[in-house]
Amino acid sequence: MNEKEIITFRAYGGCYASRNNGAVEGAKKGAVAVVIRSINLAHDDHPHTGGMTYEDGVEKIPSAAISTNDAEYIRTKYKSQRLRLLLDLNCQTLDPKPSHNVIGEIRGSQFPNKIITVGGHLDSWDIGEGAHDDGAGIVHSIEALRILKSLGYRPKHTLRVVLFMNEENGNMGGTTYASWVKQREEEHIAAIESDRGGFSPRGFDVDGSQYYLSLLKSFMPLFEPYELYRFEKGFGGVDIMPLKEHFQDIALFGFVPDSQRYFDFHHAATDVFEAVNKRELELGAASIACLIYLLDKNFTIPQGTKHRQRK
Amino acid sequence: MNEKEIITFRAYGGCYASRNNGAVEGAKKGAVAVVIRSINLAHDDHPHTGGMTYEDGVEKIPSAAISTNDAEYIRTKYKSQRLRLLLDLNCQTLDPKPSHNVIGEIRGSQFPNKIITVGGHLDSWDIGEGAHDDGAGIVHSIEALRILKSLGYRPKHTLRVVLFMNEENGNMGGTTYASWVKQREEEHIAAIESDRGGFSPRGFDVDGSQYYLSLLKSFMPLFEPYELYRFEKGFGGVDIMPLKEHFQDIALFGFVPDSQRYFDFHHAATDVFEAVNKRELELGAASIACLIYLLDKNFTIPQGTKHRQRK
């Protein structure tokens, strides 16, 4: 990963393909297996797992990741020498089993069929607990609505928590949810996702029209005393992304916490409960509750546009 | 500590007196000893130590801190019942021994007698390693000048690292340094301190004239891409504070990292090497190196003022 990228997700984006496409690209060049340096910034002994793909018509060769320390050891000790590696892998792809998104909501008092969702994903990689990815997003989402409920807030729009099942391995939860709401002829005006860990909040990205960016930026003075500064065009989240295919004018908001420590834990055995700081987690939930409140209060259908499903 | 304070140092400021003045105020009311709830935000089992004072003419009663969990246990289990506590303390104040500030510098090419210092403090409380308080500040200070040196930068002003000895127990390092530079008739134009931990950088506070605040704010666009947003009037640092008594127009800059986790470690057994994240520490050092560079490049003596020693 490129250490010079301040936003570590950009560094991840820059080398994600080595894991995802390594087996296909390797096989095309005649490789019998592919081994990558784990995609994380820390120099440690933990291999980081994650999604990888095969392609029909290309040989399905084994694919593995080793820790950054191990990769560094091999690189510096053996340099350009030819090496033989014995791979002993026992991973396998089992048949899919039915599972479920988990949904809860507070019905809107004025526009019950206009929905603001907030969510994260329930599934995680097996080698850790998935505390940051995405236990934090699950807690953020439930806690945000619990805060509003505990304050006795009666929303105008329906506020819905969606805990998505299976983001990591094909985004089944996100695609299924989007199809489901289309069938129900619901109208989604905004969706918020937390899937970048439970660290100190810095702001929100928005993937949507200029109206939504302006609306988000108009909230800045309210967030700044709480040290949230970043309100920009950007990425919403994998789980909520399929909603864009159905709703033309929806805005997707991605919660942006401090990203510096995220890849120390991402998809690794280190992503455990103890790695999440309670206060940082709570500040994230409070920030998301505020955004939901502000959207619910201030959202109006922009002139000249109509929130509608795509054809 | 008041959890609602976003900047945790403000919460610390709000209850610091209970530890510092507890023994004096207790004795005045006839107490035989004083026991406080540790000054930290986490609910854990670690007592947090720190400075406390006695007053001539007031009985010197024992003073102790218990963990937040223990304090909560006593409060909820015994409520307003009368309790007897057996205190078994073995702490004592030993005679002072000579020690030293550690100083290194890169001489200025144009104004060698005009000095920009950067520092932290070498001493720490005995129950931990002092990794965040203030090992991080020590690394930040050395590393900031190492970065500039490794780039071959030739500063106009003298850049000096000062590793202060004994901040925690009377600020002897800071007061001694200020007297020493006065004797040498040096001119200090700016001093930077890092003593708020090794977390993700957020900005700098400045304690100085409007000229310096404007100068600092003029650097903002250069820092913002690196997620430093906070450039405000504020506190410099305990070690550099005595310089203000000698230099009328000096500016003191306090490095401001994210403060949410700091009091989990402050003055406790938890303040160890492993609690510092390498990348967050490095980003702090790089931020401080940038500020030193920008001050060295852009500082000019403001019109109508003269940097001079106080009478």
pTM beyond 0.90, yes or no:
yes
Chain A, 288 to 307: residues with Cβ < 8 Å from chain B are none
Residue B200 Cα, gap to closest chain A Cα (Å)? 7
Q: What is the pLDDT of residue B308?
A: 55
Mean pLDDT over A126-135 rounds to 97
Say yes or no: A274 contacts chain B, CB-CB below 8 A. no
- What's the pLDDT tens digit per position in A143-167? 999 999 999 999 999 999 999 999 9
CB contact under 8 A, B279 and A42: yes
Please tell me the distance in Å from B279's CA to the nearest CA on chain A.
7
CA distance B180 to B246: 11
Whether A167 is catalytic is: yes
Contacts of A278 in chain B (CB under 8 A): 42-43
Q: Which of A129, A143, A167, A187 is catalytic?
A: A167
The pLDDT, as a whole number, for residue B93 is 87
Give pLDDT tens digits for A186-237: 999 999 999 999 999 999 999 999 999 999 999 999 999 999 999 999 999 9
Q: Which residues pair with B252 in a beta bridge?
A: B191, B207
State the best of A196, A205, A220, A229 to mutate against chain B, taking most chain B CBs within 10 Å: A229
Tell me how close the Cα of B222 comes to any Cα of chain A, in angstroms: 13
Nearest CA in chain A to B8: A279
Point out the residue among A41, A200, A202 whose CB comes nearest to the CB of B279: A41
Give me the residue from B225, B258, B278 closest to A200, CB to CB.
Answer: B258
DSSP code at position A302: P
pLDDT digits (tens, 9 = 90+) for B95-146: 999 999 999 999 999 999 999 999 999 999 999 999 999 999 999 999 999 9
- Give the whole-angstrom CA distance, residue A30 versus residue A17: 18
Euclidean distance between CA atoms A36 and B194, whole angstroms: 38
Query: What amino acid is encoded at B129 in this protein?
Result: E
For residue A133, what is the DSSP state?
Answer: I
Active site residues of B: 167
Q: What is the 3-state secondary structure (H, E, C) of chain B?
A: CCCCCCCHHHHHHHHHHHHHCHHHHHHHCCCCCEEEECCCCCCCCCCCCCCCCCCCCCCCCCEEEECHHHHHHHHHHHCCCCCCCCCCCCCCCCCCCCCCCEEEEECCCCEEEEEEEEEEECCCCCCCCCHHHHHHHHHHHHHHHHHHHHCCCCCCEEEEEEEECCCCCCCHHHHHHHHHHHHCCCEEEEEEECCCCCCCEEEEEEECCHHHHHHHHHCHHHHHHHCCCEEEECCCCCCCCCHHHHECCCEEEEEEECCCCHHHHCCCCCCCHHHCCHHHHHHHHHHHHHHHHHHHHHCCCCCCCCCCECC
With cut-offs at 50, 70 and 90, classify the pLDDT of residue A248: confident
- Say if residue A307's pLDDT is above 60: no
- Tell me: the pLDDT tens digits for A52-100? 999 999 999 999 999 999 999 999 999 888 889 999 999 888 999 999 9
Q: Please report the pLDDT score of residue A163 as a whole number.
A: 98
Task: Give Cα A128 distance to the centre of its chain.
Answer: 17
Residue A93: predicted pLDDT: 87
On the question of pLDDT at A119 being above 90, the answer is yes
Output the pLDDT for position B178. Answer: 97
Mean pLDDT score across all residues of chain A: 95
Chain B neighbors of A41, CB-CB under 8 A: 279
What local confidence, expressed as pLDDT, does residue A308 receive?
A: 56
Residues of chain B with pLDDT under 70: 301-311
* Torsion angles phi and psi, residue B63, rounded to 5: -140, 130
Whether chain A has a CB inside 8 Å of the CB on B229: the answer is yes
Q: What is the pLDDT of residue B123?
A: 97
Res A64: pLDDT:
96
Integer Cα distance of A169 and B80 in angstroms: 55
Complex ipTM value: 0.93
Q: How far apart are CA A166 and CA B293, in angstroms?
A: 48
Q: Do B279 and A7 touch (CB under 8 A)?
A: no
Residue A34 has pLDDT above 70, yes or no: yes
